[in-house]
Structure 1
Amino acid sequence: MIERAEKEARYGLELNPYDGWATHAIAHAVEYAGDTSKGIDFLKKTNQDWEKCDVIKPHIDWHWALYELEQGNREITEDILINRVLNKDGEMIMLDFVDMAALIYRLKLAGQKASTVYSSTRLKKFLLDHLHDHTLIFNDLHIYFILDDYADAEDRNNFLRTLKEAYDTSDSDKGHVYRQVGKYIFQAMDQFKEKNYSNVVELLYPIRNKIYQIGGSNAQRDLFYLLLIHSAVHSNNNQHQKLAKRLINERCLMRNKTKSKLMENYANAILND
């Protein structure tokens, strides 16, 4: 299925090299296959074509950043985040915000601490303007990824209050997803912030096969599995570290056993613990 998707997308680019959505489809196919070197090479070679696609261009940059981070290139990832996604021309939209929040959190997981992105008034304003939208749990989770970096305690408490008001007793699909999946992810993120890695594993592992319910693509939801892997690796529970090995192997197998510096670093962290 992935091979066919890539084939059709490449045919689309033969018809129109400037089709950003065909480029985006290839970016997904390459990401699912774990062929990050191929992805970087493709996006570099075609950059002058897809950079004209205003709406999807920053998101394609996001895919590029994922490839670089998978290869362990944190500085390049941060450079893409700041200079190609955050500082893009034009108005910021929710897709831009989601991409930025996810990259910031991924970089934190990878150990990249300091960044000028935390002084971005543009990002802070967008976050605060949409703090109480609560249109999608997926968006709310991305707000929560970076909420403490840009908001004060009052904003944080108000966000959590209105979040529960929107979803806790709602009979909507969003309400059901929040109660079955979303609230556990929020709790896991709280525990992660406190470095209670064992608790993160206990919260996320039972729901890991339900996370798809929050929406987003496989590439976007991969962040939640990375959070689980990271926590299992650093948990003081020996059973969790055994679980971490299985989760790392599972992720590598799903990506055709392609070498991943990111997963290699996690595996080495277990060995050196």
Structure 2
Amino acid sequence: MAALAAVVSVAGSSAARPLTPTPGAAPATATRASSAACAQPFPTSAAGYAALWATLPTDQWGAGDVSISVPLRDGRVLWLYGDTMSTGGRFVHSSAIVQTRGCLRVANGGAQILRDDSPTEIYWIHDATQRSNGTVAIRARLVRLTGTGTWAFEDGGAWRTTIVRVTAAGDLVPLWRSPLRIAPAPDPGPLYHLSDRPGHFGYARSTHPWARLASGKTLTTTCQNYDDGVLHPLVEYRPIFTES
């Protein structure tokens, strides 16, 4: 696991630390598209998916990590993210996007999907599956924040599962949360060197075999971040779409 952290300006100087939610910040109300109808077809290439994500309203969803997808029985796709940044300084630890063919909707206006246990006990999404009744089970790892530094966190030693319903409009409604289940920490997976730029690395690579690409290859997302002490444009923290 890895946090999507950034360098922010504090009292006129640069200091590396995770961004935190703005107290009382309300989610934006505008949405890109409803799930009622979409005349645009599914993208058929990684470049097409990247172009589609570029249409997202950045005041609701600017960048996020994790990037796992759950095909729903009604033909839509639920995309789930971990730490998520938006313009205006909002930062949440989980977010969702609902895809209907070639249209996207930021679920709940970009509001956090999974409830924190406390200001220092948060949850990072690890995986999700659709259940037989149409709801989605989201399994997340407990993480404890230990300070304000970029890497100031530790594994919380437990999992929690949240059951959500995806509405016709494309929002998520939490229905039930399981008790904590103590278990060893998951394998965080490898880090990747993404470019020659200092501190530019990738992690949490996911495949999306449901996506039908013209090349016959598999849609893949790789999360990206920087460890160079510089705050980059939001687009540079978005998952990278490729074909493998």
- TM-score w.r.t. structure 2 length? 0.26
| Higher RCO (Cα < 8 Å, 6 or more apart) | 2
Of Structure 1 and Structure 2, the greater strand share is in 2
